[in-house]
Amino acid sequence: MSFSLCLNTSTIQPQPLLDKIRLAADAGFDAVELWLNDVYQFVGRGGEVRDVEQALADHGLTVPCMIALRGWGEAVGAEYDAALDEARRRMELAARLGSPYVVATPPRYPCDEAQIADRFVDLLDIGQQIGVRPTFEYISFFASASRLDQAWQVVRDCGDDDATLILDAFHTWNSGGTLDDLRQIPAGRISHYHFDDAARDIPAGQQKDPDRVMPGDGVIDLAAEARVLREIGYRGTVSLELFNQILWDQDPREVLRVGLERMRELLGE
């Protein structure tokens, strides 16, 4: 069984939202991973959510995941209430666009893992009401939940057998994660897998989002990760997610052509 190949639209960030959808479809991707802020900006500039819905329908693309819920892990008092209200609005928008998952980003600064897990439960409760499932991510250059094993612990501490996390090849490598760490995650607890590579000339632990490079051009053994995913039974969505200015300056059609080709090659599709 094949993976579902998806484009995270950060890969061609400078393009307008509806062009991102069209370009993903023209390149041959099965799905598109949208950023909620892109939709907010599109509407703020006079567009309508129904325009996005129509573009997705016209191009035959699904939305397996949207990004992101932020500020919920560290906020206190009235700020936390506001963060939950915003999370609800974002999940409602994701539900309207047919996305089953919304990424929940951990705090940027140090934060007690027990608090993060408790707060994630609150997000899961809201998602259950709406019909969308928050999925927890780890960020290798953040000071909380920076590693895969930490993210998996947060998800387990929720006490919800349906709680999930999102995998990211770059963040796993950049935080010192291993294939054995990946093997510890049951396939059913993985919502999504971000596919990206890391620059060759910057050590692990020192890279940031702009240092991601086209799969196959960096140091991560993505083919080995793909084999582990198949080994544990994961057959879900794999999403090309890059934030590289050099790629943003290129013809997006060529970037996506190469990206999809590399995905198929390294994933064994």
141-162 confidence digits (pLDDT tens): 999 999 999 999 999 999 999 9
Neighbours of 231 (CB within 10 A): 12
Structural domain boundaries enclosing 193: 4-267
**pLDDT above 70: residue 1:** no
Look at residues 192, 236, 249, 241 and name the one whose alpha carbon lies nearest to residue 220: 241
Angle between helices 113-130 and 78-96 (to 10 degrees): 40
- For the question of whether the overall pTM of this predicted structure is more than 0.85, the answer is yes
pLDDT (tens digit, 9 = 90+) per residue, 74-113?
Answer: 999 999 999 999 999 999 999 999 999 999 999 999 999 9
**How many whole angstroms separate alpha carbon 145 and alpha carbon 186?**
19
For the chain, give the percent of residues with pLDDT over 70.
100
> What's the pLDDT score for residue 214?
98
What's the maximum distance between 2 C-alpha atoms anywhere in the chain? 49
The pairing of strands 164-168 and 133-136 is parallel
Nearest alpha-carbon partner for 53 in 102, 93, 100: 93
| Residue 57 banded pLDDT, cuts 50, 70, 90 | very high
| Torsion from C-alpha of 166, 132, 86, 11, nearest 10 degrees | 40
What is the reported pLDDT for 255? 98
Give me the number of domains the chain comprises. 1
What is d(CA 226, CA 67) in angstroms, rounded to the nearest whole number? 23
Average pLDDT in the chain = 97
pLDDT tens per residue across span 194-223: 999 999 999 999 999 999 999 999 999 999
Q: Which residues make Cβ contacts (< 8 Å) with residue 186, sequence separation at least 6?
A: 232
Peptide bond into 78 cis (omega under 30): no
Specify whether the CB–CB gap between 218 and 199 falls below 8 A: yes
Query: Domain of 76: which CATH number?
Result: 3.20.20.150
Give the mean model confidence (pLDDT) for residues 163-175: 98
**Whole-angstrom distance, CA of residue 252 vs CA of residue 118:** 41
The letter for the amino acid at 15 is: Q
Containing H/E element for 168?
Answer: strand 164-168
What contacts 235, CB < 8 A, 6 or more positions away? 1, 2, 3, 187
